[in-house]
Amino acid sequence: MKVLHIPCLDDNYSYMIIDETTKEAAVVDPVEPHKVLRVAQENEVDLKFVLTTHHHWDHAGGNDKIKQLVPGIKIYGGSVDNVRGCTDKVENGDRISLGVDISILSLHTPAHTKGHISYYVTDKEGEDPAVFTGDTLFIAGCGKFFEGTAEQMYQSLCVTLGSLPKPTLVYCGHEYTVKNLQFALTVEPDNAKIAQKLAWAERQRRVGLPTIPSTIQEELESNPFMRVDLPEVQDKVGCKSPVEAMREIRQRKDNWQG
């Protein structure tokens, strides 16, 4: 399995997932279809379907166009998210296969939108797992709770995504990492993992490289929103429960002027 980053708009990422045995491919959130098709041609792959994480235009806005450009392409999207151009609705636990080797599991991860789906992708041996988290989980951050609650985001991040294998690669929808880590340091000033990752992310961005992917393990070490179960993090923000801490940290992030 191969994953290619496709930078789009100002700070979005689309991703191409390629089954190297068959040269069949899927694309996550192809907001700029012409860019996506150029990458498909360069890599000589056959684009089979689209995986849409959620309905916001900067993720689903290219779906109608890609249907025109690639007749017969399937567009997967969350069953309760009203995704533009959707041909096949998915629910939590639905599986999609790509080529001969790749299995894709749909995970319902609401809060940013009510029907947000993250896609957990493994190859034939269950090796090299990756998860495409849209705007639910960012590197060192999470999406705003536009259509959901702190309880839902806790469930999405700390239960659903947090229980994936630790080496799972995390591919998120935006390049927000530097700002997210700067904020994370305001929550946990003494967390060396955050400081180290921030220095690395700043170096990456200086030379125009992405900070993605991360791993679930790294997020559990440096993402304050995935650390709300820890009593020391709850203490830092004056809270007594994980959900309360989730709500408080999100509120602080919304008001943060960094």
Would you please indicate which residues are annotated as catalytic (active-site) residues?
Answer: 54, 56, 58-59, 112, 135, 174
Yes or no: say if 3 and 15 are a contact pair by the CB < 8 Å rule: yes
Distance, CA of 75 to chain centre? 18
Which residues lie below 8 Å from residue 32, measured CB to CB, with a gap of 6+?
6, 8, 9, 14, 62
Q: For the chain, first and last CA: distance in Å? A: 38
d(CA 207, CA 224): 27
Q: How many residues does the chain have?
A: 258
Yes or no: say if 98 and 104 are a contact pair by the CB < 8 Å rule: yes
SS3 of residue 44 by DSSP: coil
CA nearest neighbour of 156 among 243, 248, 58 = 243
